[in-house]
Each structure stands twice: as structure tokens, then as C-alpha cells.
Amino acid sequence: MEIFELDAKNHTPYIKLDHTTGIMELKGRSTPENSVEFYDPVNKWLIQFINEAVTIPVIVKLKFEYFNTSSSKCILDVLKKFAEFKKTGADVKVEWYYEQDDDDMKEAAEDYSDIVKIPFEIIEIPED
């Protein structure tokens, strides 16, 4: 298994899924033309990761500036994969970062937290 990493582009986030450290990071803007197609390799990697029954703690770090409606569904699907992993007894938690004045992003974190039922830490990033 290899580390999965994609550089951020104008419409897609930076993604790094590291099976050696347990740090899974998605950050930036997520407005791809085809969200399902964009997130498909992420979901396939996560399925492989879960099937390998990795025993290290996993921290999912989400730092979205913005995501569109179709990305929202795909992000939920990614979080559901981590929830499946948690059900196997894995140590999984989510750290969701949002800008201090971004109530929509904070609310999205709260909504996802209610849906996936894994530990969520919602972290405000103070203004500079």
C-alpha cells in the first residue's frame, strides 16, 4: 500500500492519506466538475486501508475553505468509510478546522458529526 497524495488545484483539495502515520488530510476548495469521479480513488484507497486492518490511530484532518453540494455528498461518503473502520474497533477521530467567521463550515462539521457518529473535534482557526 502506498501513501495517497494529490496536490490542490483550482477546484480540488489537497489530499494526503498516509497509512504509516494514520494522518488523513483533506484541505482547500472542493468544487470539481465531477465530484464522484474525483473522490472515487480516495474511496478505493480507504477500502484497501480498512481491509488491511491497520492498527494505528487514525486522525482525519479536514480544512475546507469551501465545498459545493456534490462534494458534500462525497465528503460524507469518505467520512462513512472512516465510521465503518471505527466499527471494527479502530481508533478514529476527526479534526474539522474552520475559519473563525465561517458559520456554514462549522455547521457542516456539526451535521457530519451527527451523521457519522465518530469522535469529532471542531476547531476554530482564529483570524490573523
pLDDT tens for residues 101-119? 899 999 999 999 999 989 9
Sheet with 23-30, strands from edge to edge, namely 4-6, 14-17, 23-30, 58-67, 92-99, 120-125
Rounded to two decimals, what is the model's pTM? 0.92
- 53 confidence band (pLDDT: 50, 70, 90): low
CATH number of the CATH domain containing 68: 3.30.750
Total count of domains within the chain: 1
For residue 41, what are the domain limits?
A: 4-125
Distance (Å, whole) CA 83 – CA 81: 5
Per residue in 3-15, pLDDT (tens digit) is 999 999 999 999 9
> What residue spans of the chain are helical by DSSP H?
35-51, 69-87, 103-116
pLDDT for 107 equals 96
